[in-house]
Amino acid sequence: MTMTRTAKPVRQRGFSLVEMMIAVVLGIVVVGGLINLFIANRKGYQLQSGANYLQQNIRVASDRLGWSLRMADFWGGNAYTDININSTATGAITSAGGSCTQAWATSLAPNSTGGGSVFGYSGSTTFPLGAACIGTAANYVKGSDVIVMRYVDTQILSPGPVPAEAATIAANPNQVYLVTAVGGQATLFANSPVPTTPTNSSSIRQYVYPYRVDMYYLRPCSAPAGAACAATDDNGAPLPTLMRQYLRSDGTFVSEAVVDGVEQMKVAYGVSVSGGTSPAPTSYMTASAVTAANAWDRVVSVAVSVVAVSPVRDIAVPHEATYKLSSDCTYKIAAAGTDVSACTNFTPFGDKPWQYTRAVQQFVVQLRNRNEN
């Protein structure tokens, strides 16, 4: 009789409870490390994006302001003293309110009240030209400066012995133009007929340029829900914005946002002893000081200082710094609180200002069209 041996069953073993707990702990450690790495990378990306945002904002602000400043005092080959102001020019403009009137818009003589190719206003508790000029007092960042430039655009409408585009000019009756004879005379006008400049000298080659008025100021919010900035704008964190108010082709003034995130702006004016005959400034002065010295006709360069602020909060470290933008504006950002000196009633951005990154830049623009008048 043959004996059959029964195979001994193989004993199978799984993870023990201890081994499983070790594996779970190791998994948690690895996943936690990955999460921390992801958070760190995301935070680094946000901070870098914030820094790029600041630099981009400063670049846009300097480019736009620089363009207007470089164009200031361009009158198609003439000096402002050669320009006649036709009543049609002032009649075509609608007052924006406050001191932003028709006469102010066409005031070309420096040292007149608010006139000239470049004129500035030092920061104040209220908008220096009257709150109605920008709609309401709530649309002005207190303590920030305001600057106005006047010039004619580079677009030439009608070169030739006699202006040839009367139909285009007639179709825009509220657009203010300058008709000029280079080295002769010029007239600021609106609608047709186009004045002959000089009088009874139609044989002299003439040009017509659109007239421009640019005013830059800071508004406390980027996108107001209504006519005035409010605490609920910009998702409850109103972001200060560089604004440009300009004279539109229909004769009205309109404000547009140039770039948001500009917290403060101060402007200094380089004054030369001999004005247009010497492009080198001997000193830089605030707008109020230039006005007091009756020296707007001797301003040959402009220095603009801006502070850009990121809308993204960074709580990792306090972003403490002191910003001295001019002799009449210094403010300190510190975790212990904000110390503001001279900037009249100015309040930095954010409910906790030290948790936001900032960047400051100053740029100087030479007034290349400044003539000896």
| The predicted structure's pLDDT at residue 195 | 81
Cα separations in angstroms, 260 against 57, 221, 267: 7, 8, 18
**209 has which bridge partners?**
178
Q: Give one DSSP letter per residue of 37-49, joined into a string.
A: HHHHHHHHHHHHH
- For 357, how many CA atoms within 13 A lie in the half-sphere containing its CB? 16
Cα separations in angstroms, 140 against 63, 125, 268: 22, 9, 19
10 vs 162, residue with greater confidence:
10
pLDDT at 230 over 70: yes
Q: Distance between CA atoms of 66 and 367, rounded to whole angstroms?
A: 10
179 CA to centre of own chain: 30
Q: Where are the domains of the chain?
A: 46-366
pLDDT in tens, 298-350: 999 999 999 999 988 888 888 999 999 998 899 999 988 888 888 889 999 99
Quick one: pLDDT band at residue 32, thresholds 50, 70, 90? confident
Nearest residue to 323 via CA among 239, 265, 364: 265
Q: Distance between CA atoms of 266 and 252, rounded to whole angstroms?
A: 27
Contact 356, 237 (CB under 8 A): no
Place of tokens 């499983």: 20
Quick one: pLDDT band at residue 47, thresholds 50, 70, 90? low
pLDDT in tens, 74-131: 998 888 998 999 999 999 999 999 999 999 999 999 988 899 999 999 999 999 999 9
338 vs 222, residue with greater confidence:
222
